[in-house]
Amino acid sequence: MTVLASDGAALAVRATRSRDPDIVATIGGTPLVALDRLFPPARFQVYAKCERFNPGGSIKDRAAKSMIEHAIRAGKLVPGVSTVVESSSGNLGIALAQLCNFYRLNLICVIDPRTTPQNAAIMRAYGARVEVVDRDPATGEYLPARIERVRSLLESVPDAYWPNQYANEHNSRAHHHTMREIHEALPGGPDHLFLAAGTTGTLRGCAEYIRDHGLATNVVAVDAAGSVIFGPPEPWELTHRRTIPGHGAAVVPPLLRPGLADRIVKVTDFDCVRGCRQLLAQESILAGGSSGAVVAALQAAASWIEPGATCVAVLPDGGDRYLDTVYSDSWVEERFKDFPPPDRTGLDPTGLDPTRLDPTCSDTTRSDTTDHERSES
C-alpha cells in the first residue's frame, strides 16, 4: 500500500498482518520428495516425507509441540515457573529444548551414552539441563534407567512435569496431521506407508488417520533387531545390540495398540548404515539412522510390493547429527568389518542385490488378531 507524506511524496508502507508466524508455527508442512534414483518408478513409486525440514530438525518437533502446548492449555505447565522432565535418545530432547526455550519453561532431559555429543550440545544451547544415565543393571538396557531417573527427578524438582512421550496421546495425535499432509499430497492415500517405530506415536497417529478416513493404505512398521515393541525378539536378534537410536525400544510403549501395523520389518544397525549411505549416494539426501532403517525395509519389501504401487517412506530426521557415527568410515569399520563402500556407480540403484542384503533383515507379517495380541505380551 502507498500513502502520501505531508509534502506530497509517496511513501511505501509495509502491509501489516494480524500476527506474523513464529518459529513454532513452522512445524509441519514438510515436503514429499520422489526417490526415483534409489527406487526406479517403472517398478513402483516411492516418496520420502522429509521431516528434517521441521525447525528442530526432526519429526519429534510435531510431538513436542502437541504435548507442550496441550499441557500449557490444561494448566499443567506454567511459563516462567514449570520444569519439563523427559527421557530422550536425542531428537525429542532437542524438540523439547526448542519449545521450552520458546515458552520460557525449564527442561531437564535424561539421555544415555548413545545420544551423540552434538545432540546433547544442541539441547544445552537451548538452555536445557542434560543428565546422562548408564544401563539398567537388571535389564542391561538404557531406557529403564532413563525412566527411573525421570521418576526420581519428578519427586525432587519443584513444579516438575513429565510429558511422557511413551504414553502421552498428544504424541500420537500430532501425527494425525502428518498423515493428513501425506493424504492431501496423494489423494486417496499411498498404497504403502513405511515408518520407524519407537514410542509408536507416529505409527499410532498415522494408522488412526488411515482408519478414520477409510484409506486402503498398508502400514509397515520398521523396528530394530532386539526391540521388544512387537513381542519378544527372535533368536537371531539376541546377539544384536543396538547402537543407533531413533527406533526400537526395550519396553512395550503404552501408546501401542493392537492392529496398528499390517506388517513389521526388523532391521539391524548394519541395515541402517547401508540404507543411509545408499540414500546419500543415490538421492543426495543426508538422513539419520532411523531413516536408513526405513529405506532398508523398503528394499527388503521390493519382492512383495505390487507393480505400480505408491509408497511413502517417513524419514524422521537429517544426517548432520550422525556425522561421527553412521557417516564416519572409522566408526563403521570398527563395528562392521565387512561393510561395503557406498555405491556411487549407478550400477545398483535399488540396492536389491541379494549378495549385499543383510541376511538378518526380518520381514514379519502381522495379519490377524492373535498375532497382534501376542505382540503386546
Instruction: Choose among 218, 227, 225, 302: nearest CA to 261.
Output: 218
pLDDT of residue 339: 64
Instruction: Name the phi and psi angles at 115, rounded to 5.
Output: -65, 130
- Which of residues 251 and 274 earns the better pLDDT score? 274
Cα–Cα nearest to 272, from 233, 223, 311? 223
Grid cell 525421570 is found at: 150
Does 8 or 127 have the greater pLDDT score?
127
Q: At what angle are helices 269-283 and 289-301 packed, to 10 degrees?
A: 90
- The model's confidence at residue 248, banded by pLDDT at 50, 70 and 90, is confident
Q: Which three cell numbers stand for residue 109?
A: 532431559
* C-beta separation of 53 from 288 below 8 A: no
The per-residue pLDDT for range 82-96, each reduced to its tens digit, is: 999 999 988 999 999
Grid coordinates of 267: 532391521
pLDDT in tens, 318-375: 999 999 999 999 999 988 876 665 544 433 333 333 333 333 344 443 323 223 322 3
Report yes or no: 122 and 97 within 8 Å, Cβ to Cβ.
Answer: yes
What does the alpha-carbon distance between residue 85 and residue 164 come to, in Å, rounded to a whole number? 9
Burial of 210 (0-12, 13-18, 19+ CB in 10 A): buried
Categorize the per-residue pLDDT at 245 as very low, low, confident or very high, splitting at 50, 70 and 90.
confident
pLDDT at 147 over 70: yes
pLDDT above 90: residue 11 = no
Distance between CA atoms of residues 113 and 163, nearest Å:
22
Higher pLDDT, 7 or 172: 172
pLDDT score, position 114: 83
